Chains A and B, each alone.
Chain A
Amino acid sequence: MADLTANPTVVNPSREGQVDHGHDHGHHDDHHHEETFLTKYIFSMDHKMISKQFLITGIFWAFIGGAMSLLFRLQLAWPESTFPFMETLLGRWAEGGQLSPDFYYALVTIHGTVLVFFVLTGGLSGTFANFLIPLQIGARDMASPMMNMLSYWFFFAASFVMFGSLFIETGPASGGWTAYPPLNGMRDIAVNKGSGLGFDLWLTSISLFIVSSLLGGLNYISTVINLRTRGMTLSRLPLVIWALMFAAVLGVLAFPALLSAAVLLEFDRLLDTSFFLNNIVINGELLAYKGGSPILYQHLFWFLGHPEVYIIIIPAMGIVSDVMSVHARKPIFGYKAMLISMLAIVVIGFFVWAHHMFVTGMSPVLGVVFAIFTLLIAVPSAIKTFNWITTLWRGNLRLTVPMLFCIGFVSLFITGGVTGIFLGNPAVDVQLHDTYFVVAHFHIIMGVAAFFGMWAGVYHWFPKMFGRHMNRTLGYIHFWVTMVSAYLVFFPMHFMTGFPRRYWSFTNFETFNTMGNLQAIITIAAFVVFAAQILFLINFFYSIFRGRPVTEQNPWGATTLEWTTPIRPGHGNWEGDIPTVHRWAYDYSTENGDVGQHVPMKEGEAAH
């Protein structure tokens, strides 16, 4: 660990109760046991290091997934053109410089898979649950540090298998991130190249990822429930901790359904059972599969698939709530309402999965039931949005980079949420299903919005993670370019109603030949977004090693416990006793100034 000699004490005297051990703490580890490179950076059981491992792996996958989207966006914008670099990069998957349809589908499939699972679940929850839970609840580490380490290594194994699948002869999985049978239920590569070994590897990878998520989730929940420091009652927990715990609960209850679907699908593929297959005809020949139901797979898949949306967005909501409160210098508006809203989303989220299946021929009555539950989710979502806006209202806003990402999140959440109301209605969804309208909706609300939550978290907690600041100017450029360009990518897609998703080319259809320019604009904007992320990448890694050192123990003036640890906390987080908590996490701009959670109540002072 780099030697940071600064030993700052309380910088803002109006901020009471700063704990005075704001010095580099890494050397303390050496007093008691020698850590090798392997035990400190690779097979670490320190929750903070594990969180960084999740973050950096997530960033790696975000760039792989993002780069894939650029390749298929080029194809969509200029379907008749050739790009020689593609042949250099992809070989026979892009002969003559044009993406082959097979590989186009593979790119779309892997893009969706890694962004949903590896980046916005592993990268987001894995990073912030690991980093924040022990630090904010006042614990030395997770309930089971060993299980925590295993959680990362299962994630790594999942990543390794998925990455390996990109290089096999028949190519990676290409039947869509939802992996629907019958297309994915057979290993016949004559039907679809990506249904062969590539898909077996996909299933293996996702199964490993599920194990990783479950191990992580068990740890997060049991740590929050039983490892809180004295005084940290449930009602004093920061909202981000509630959010991370709710996401973990969702994962623990919903991922097993996906695992069961994966097991049954692999049985169909390897052992010729017929769970999901029935009366398949290939090249005029009727195969022997009999009695299965592909719709059954969809039920199992979406029982996880929809809660997965909340597994992604709820942690982002939590991060935004807390970061926004810090930078608005105001208590979060409606703490209890925020909490109940999240709980409502979690509970209702289990009863809406079939809104992804309105066009499978389900009974209209059943469709209406699922539609009612789906539209009900708009209520807690609207409460949360209202509360974010009222937190900003008349706040002493500090328009820092994390704050801008929080505000951007709210904007995206509203835009994406409104279109969700259209899609939740079966009568409208039948028209819009599998069109670019859907692509626009989910990219804005669970793609870009979740990324904004993640960036808000990265920029806000970077000083605690690495003991250095990120470059502000690069951060502002990152925000503004991403904000404008991401809208430019996805907003126009709302007007491409009727355009089917997943088409390699639209040139054969006169109806769809009218929006070539729009496709080109979207692609150019996508390249700009990607360029802004390269800027972020440079800023992130440069700042880890060369960023401005943190000299204040609590640079943002936050009230939560993680800022009472030394600037670079060692394993165990606090040097002496863990602080006791005396108040909630949002005592900003009170008559006593901004007061940390560990500061005792004054006589006559009323709790919030």
Chain B
Amino acid sequence: MKDNTNYQDQMTSENFSGDNREVAIRMHPQKLAMYISMLSMTMFFVALTSALLFKKGQDWFSFAPPALFYYSPILVVLNSFLLHRATKLYKSAQFKSFRNHLLLALLSAVGFFLVQWFTWKGILDMRLDRRVVSAAFFYVIMLMHALHLLGGVSALLVVWFKAWRSRKDELFELRNIINPKRVLAIEVLTLFWHFVDGLWIYLFLFIFFNYT
């Protein structure tokens, strides 16, 4: 009997071609699991933003976020674009460009964190009482999104580090390009980033229309 690793390889390489499986949605189950987890994460933020709307219907103190806040969507759009390109470059075996795009995506993520941090500090400087519910919601929404992003940054860092470490080993790179597990990992990672980036666009618009 094969061990578990072999089953995973088997799942990745042949069984999801659909030839000997009943496949309702033609994609790898782990990718499907990512889509379902995106639904779950969406529900979490829908609950948070619905709670805000519920509260807003009772009494509400509006305030304008610091100007830096308005730059945050640019960084997430850039991040998504870079990762989208990176996946394509990987599939076409352009590893040097792939690494550079990953690095730029990492930098854009760090830039986004910095923008969020200074936005947060800017609100602190307004000296709103932490018991002002609108300010508290602002913090919580940003914090929860940042925690999701942190998971993405960690995974991105691992992928970039692996790619950077093998930069002089062309054979390793060629082996990887035909390894569907590796392609899958990069696709799932990109998918997650598209999600957290898109999520921020939703949260940004939500805050924009409810606070200003």
Instruction: Using CB atoms and an 8 Å cutoff, list the residues of chain A in contact with chain B.
Output: 25, 28-29, 31-33, 45-46, 140-141, 143-145, 147, 214, 217-219, 221-223, 225-234, 252-257, 259-261, 263-264, 267, 271-275, 288-293, 296, 299-300, 303, 570-572, 575
Contacts and interface: CB of A to CB of B under 8 A. Distances in A.
A607 to B, nearest CB: 16
B4 interface: yes
A33 B5 CA distance: 11
A29 B29 contact: no
Interface in B125-148: 130-133, 136-137, 140, 144
Contacts of A288: 131
A221 B38 CA distance: 13
B43 A257 contact: yes
A313 B174 CA distance: 51
Contact of B41 (A32, A46, A256, A290): A256
A29 B2 CA distance: 7
Contacts of B167: none
Nearest to A29: B1
B170 interface: no
Nearest to B60: A291
B3 A145 contact: no
B7 interface: yes
A144 B30 contact: yes
A570 B1 CA distance: 7
Nearest to A34: B3
Contacts of A275: 51, 55, 133, 136-137
Contact of A140 (B7, B28, B59): B7
A143 B1 contact: no
Contacts of A145: 4, 7-8
A252 B10 CA distance: 28
Interface string B42-65: 011001100100110011000000
A31 B47 CA distance: 50
B36 A218 contact: yes
Contacts of B131: 272-274, 288-291
B4 A253 contact: no
B67 interface: no
Contacts of B171: none
A300 B44 CA distance: 10
Interface stretch (B17-25, B113-121, B158-166): B17-25
Contacts of B24: 225-226, 234
Given A218-B37, A273-B131, A571 B3 contact: yes
A220 to B, nearest CB: 10
A231 B43 CA distance: 34
B40 to A, nearest CB: 5
A226 B23 contact: yes
Contact of A267 (B7, B20, B140): B140
A568 B177 CA distance: 39
A299 B33 contact: no
Contacts of A25: 1
Query: Chain B contact residues (Cβ within 8 angstroms of A): what range?
Result: 35 or more
Contacts of B110: none
Contact of A299 (B7, B39, B54): B54
A226 B16 CA distance: 8
Nearest to B44: A256
Contacts of B39: 252-253
B32 interface: yes
Nearest to B132: A291
A229 B39 CA distance: 26
Given A226-B32, A253-B43, A291-B59, A260 B4 contact: no
Contact of A228 (B22, B58, B130): B22
**3 A-B pairs with least C-beta separation:** A143-B29, A256-B44, A28-B1
Contacts of A299: 51, 54
B150 interface: no
Contacts of A291: 55, 58-59, 131-133
B40 A253 contact: yes
A218 B34 CA distance: 8
B15 to A, nearest CB: 8
Contacts of B16: 226
B140 to A, nearest CB: 6
A252 B130 contact: no
B54 to A, nearest CB: 5
Given A214-B40, A219-B33, A571 B47 contact: no
Contacts of A227: 11, 15, 21, 29
Contacts of A575: 1
6 contacts: A143-B30, A145-B4, A256-B43, A273-B140, A275-B133, A571-B4
Nearest to B6: A32
A572 B44 contact: no
B155 interface: no
A528 to B, nearest CB: 42
B47 A303 contact: yes
A319 B130 CA distance: 50
A562 B91 CA distance: 40
